[in-house]
Amino acid sequence: MNTATQTTTKWILDTAHSELTFKVKHMMIANVKGGFNNFSVDVDGANMFKSSIAFKAAQMQDKEKAILFLREIREMVFLLKKNITKWEHMEVAANKVGLNVAQLKADYEGKGKELFQEDLKLGRELGVRGFPTMFFVDEKGNKELVYGSKPYSFYEGAVLKLASTATKTEYKKNWEELFSKYPTLTAKEFSELSGMKRKESEDFLNHLTAKGNLEKRSTKNGSLWKLKNL
């Protein structure tokens, strides 16, 4: 019987796309903000990776539902301020997207851990040092890498370098079709999917919200829109 062991890994944030800031109250009147230009962060993998292991377990069941599960726990963090390392919140997300919760828990505590450790090992072998890092590999083993948060065109360019004759799959870009496929969208996501400019997409989503078609949820991290009847 194979038993997965927890390894300690130091992950380095992509500081070009991260920031460490602080805010203090001065004289009980005004807030004074500041930040650090140089910093590093050590991540406790034992807790951080719990939701990642749950996602791996969800993939073992259903890859499409696993993506929906990932979006649900992401929204729990940004909209509801939930601690998604706790099983009780993972269970709610799993139920909402139609996963078999009993099977998810069994895989989360068993095979999912082993598979996630294999992913970590592969990441170390490939030289992954921060998030996000995406590899694109063709049948001959040729590889393209995109490191850091980049516009969609960077990922598309990586694919075309490996498969120059690849063509995009066409899809309907009206808002009804997009929200029927994606339960929630940010303005940036809607912009990429619809082909609208970023500012235009946000204005359009706000217009649909005012008409009662969509519901808008806002936080300091940004806003999400979803169909009003969901």
Find the CATH number of the domain harbouring 210. Answer: 1.10.10.10
In the predicted model, what is the mean pLDDT of residues 158-169?
91
Render pLDDT for 194-229 as a digit per residue (tens, 0 to 9): 999 999 999 999 999 999 999 998 877 789 999 987
Same domain, 119 and 146: no
Task: Please spell the DSSP secondary structure of 45-78, one letter per residue.
Answer: HHHHTHHHHHHHHHHHH-HHHHHHHHHHHHHHHH
Higher pLDDT, 86 or 33: 86
Residue 170 is assigned to a structural domain of this protein: no
Residue 196 is assigned to a structural domain of this protein: yes
**pLDDT at residue 28, rounded to an integer:** 43
Same domain, 118 and 141: no
In the predicted model, what is the mean pLDDT of residues 59-83?
90
Domain limits for position 189: 175-227
The pTM is what? 0.67
Render pLDDT for 109-146 as a digit per residue (tens, 0 to 9): 999 999 999 998 998 888 888 878 999 999 999 999 99
Same domain, 205 and 149: no
Residue 213 is assigned to a structural domain of this protein: yes
Domain count, the chain: 3
Same domain, 118 and 139: no
Residue 2 is assigned to a structural domain of this protein: no
As a whole number of angstroms, the distance between CA 204 and CA 195 comes to 12
Same domain, 140 and 188: no
Residue 169 is assigned to a structural domain of this protein: no
In the predicted model, what is the mean pLDDT of residues 19-33?
48
Same domain, 60 and 146: no
Find the CATH number of the domain harbouring 51. Answer: 3.40.30.10
Domain boundary among 162, 183, 217: 162
73 Cβ neighbours under 8 A, 6+ residues apart: 51, 54, 55, 84, 89, 90, 93
Same domain, 88 and 27: yes
Residue 168 is assigned to a structural domain of this protein: no
Q: Which of 1-5, 11-15, 62-66, 225-229 has the lowest mean pLDDT?
A: 1-5
Residue 102 confidence class, pLDDT cut points 50, 70, 90: very high
Same domain, 52 and 113: yes
